[in-house]
Chain A
Amino acid sequence: MISRFIDYVAGYLKSGVTPGEAGNALWALIYIVLIFTGVSIAVIAMNWLERKILAHMQVRLGPMRVGPHGLLQPIADALKLLIKEDIVPDRADKLVFWLAPVAIVITSFLVFVVIPFGPQHAVTDMNIGLLFMLGISSMSVFGIIMAGWASGSSYPLMGALRSSAQMVSYEIAMGLAVVSAVLMTSLGSSASGTLSMIGIVQSQQEQGVWFIFKFFPFGLVAFFIFAVAMVAETNRAPFDLAEAESELVAGFHTEYSGFRWSLFFLAEYAAMIAVSSIAVTLWLGGWMRPFASFHGPEVRIPLFWNHAGTAADPSGAIDLAFAIFPAALFFLLGAIAALGTLRMPKHRIFRVQTIGLGLFALTLGGIGLLLLAPPVRDRIQDIFWFCFKVSAFMYLYIWYRGTFPRYRFDQLMKLGWKFMIPTAIGVLVGTAAWGLTAVYFHG
């Protein structure tokens, strides 16, 4: 029974297609549950990290009370939000007020259906994957407008109008930047390009270059435009004037409290992860490791590193170095946590926290050890690199928030319409011209 189960799982993992393509509803469900849990955990972790990093940027300590170094703070926050009273304003439109957070959560999580965490690790691979993502993320404007309007109050309405105007204007620049990346997919061996997310990464694999470096500087500029537009799309600092607390209290979700407010919070961070994944897929090579086309001299270590040495299953020294990177990263994190344990104050009341932090360090080290084991190591590579790149973007979001001052509304519109969109059109035309010249001279 158990061996048959293992055989089934292993057989599926070897098949190399996404559950959607295989028409396998069970695996699709498993993937959906895994992604939903993973994103929710990432949002919780992001909450703690954001408060900690912002605090350290401002030479504060940040949350320190709940758990060692405030590690359990997000859980305490979540509990507090869940047991808070759920207030519906008297002048609110009840139905729309209820529908808005639901709509916004659905739209931000639906995007994850097509995000490829690896060559086969996506819920499904659609022929119009990129179009689907852009469409669904453009629908999150509705949640904001509905929330702002249904609250029946002036501040939320102003915030909703501001943020939807901002999202609609930056969507254009975003779309144009995306088109220039899609154009690059058509320059591979297959004459026609693709909109499928997996196809885009495979095209970068085949052309041997991340699209950020292709046609320098066009790829880089397109990526830059997308990277700015995606911050504006998610209403984050420095473009967070929809929820500018000095002017509009909290923007469109001023009247929301308790569980519904936490749904907005969840949706905001999920949307940040989603747009970062689009950027990673389009320009940063998706699940590919850095320098994926370099393999280095052949290395064979019995029982640990003995691959076939072909292009599909390489066995070089550089491959080995990147293969043990995930484990090394977790060992480093574990070492930092262990250092923190040693530096905890030696006092009776800190004993529980010290033990907790020590256990946390041990857990991180254990994960590192697990990632060293050959079967796990080889299967986790693509997922790890994807998540690593996305977390770099998450750090950038926090960094922006810590450093940039907020834009004024007219400055924001000016930047969007008078700089981003013309530059994006220029990049699109330049990419097309360069691509045509390349095809003309080489193919």
Chain B
Amino acid sequence: MEITILHYLVVAAALFSIGVVGVLTRRNVVIVLMSIELILNAVNLNLVAFSRLYGLHGQVFAIFVMTDAAAEAAVGLGILIAFFRNKETVNADEIDLLKF
């Protein structure tokens, strides 16, 4: 069977849904951030798959998304380290103070 764009979209949708599950259910913030990376990758896969049909714009946008992911990971992990230094935990449901 020939591979059409629908196949790629289905894989991307599966990755997206798994990422959503990870973001909503895991307690460890590191894994929540990794699930966000999963979601961004699903989006990127969609963009590149469509760029196979409609020209290179999708690929350029995928590169912007990757830049965004890098910035997000750097800042998010920086916050995480700062938080861990103060409260000795990385669990999302223990981050419940408005003022420390």
A and B touching (Cβ–Cβ under 8 A):
no
Residues on A close to B: CB < 8 A?
none
